Amino acid sequence: MQEKFYLTKEFKKLNKSWQQKLKDSGFDEIEDIDPRFENKEPYFKCWHSHHFFKSYTPEEFEEKQTYYRQVAHFYWHYLEFKNRWEKEIWRLHGEGFSRRKIAQVLKPKYKITDSSVQIILSKLKKVMQTQKWPSSEMDDDERDYRKAIFNHLP
């Protein structure tokens, strides 16, 4: 039976030289070989969930969650959108789309640019910030907290 190429000395030498070239170029491999195991299966150095936990504190995550909840509430209860595409921009924003992605999605239908999307989003955010929320829903501390969130989120 013929030896598999990836097990030959020739392959190992070639692989080692390419690994060195990658390392010299600054390439950061996401998989690594764990030397403790005989079969040397690759494993991820960092799982996406770990990256997420390093990127956001629980408070930041809760702030974003509150913001997008309010975006959804505004979408369903604000009846003064100027036109259909303004409402569609806000809906996509509420689903977490970036302004570029919103422009990409809506461009074929409405011929809109990402700068136009930014202008509309800014205007609607200001309207949402100044919107009077029913006092039965929140107290002054909650209102101040939500206002602070609006001032620094996308």
Burial label, 30 (beta-carbon count in 10 A; 0-12, 13-18, 19+): exposed
How much of the chain exceeds pLDDT 90, in percent? 19
What is this structure's pTM?
Answer: 0.53
CB atoms within 10 A of CB 143: 14
Sign, CA torsion 18/19/20/24: positive
- Where do the domains of the chain lie? 58-152
Higher pLDDT: 53 or 151? It is: 53
Distance CA 83, CA 104 (A): 19
The confidence score (pLDDT) of residue 135 equals 42
Kindly indicate the confidence band of residue 136, based on its pLDDT and cuts at 50, 70 and 90. very low
Higher pLDDT: 25 or 48? It is: 25
The mean of the pLDDT values for the chain is 77
In tens, the pLDDT along 45-93 reads 555 555 556 667 788 888 888 888 888 888 888 768 888 889 999 999 9
Q: Hey, what amino acid is at 52?
A: F
Higher pLDDT: 110 or 93? It is: 93
Residues in the chain: 154
Is pLDDT of 129 > 90?
no
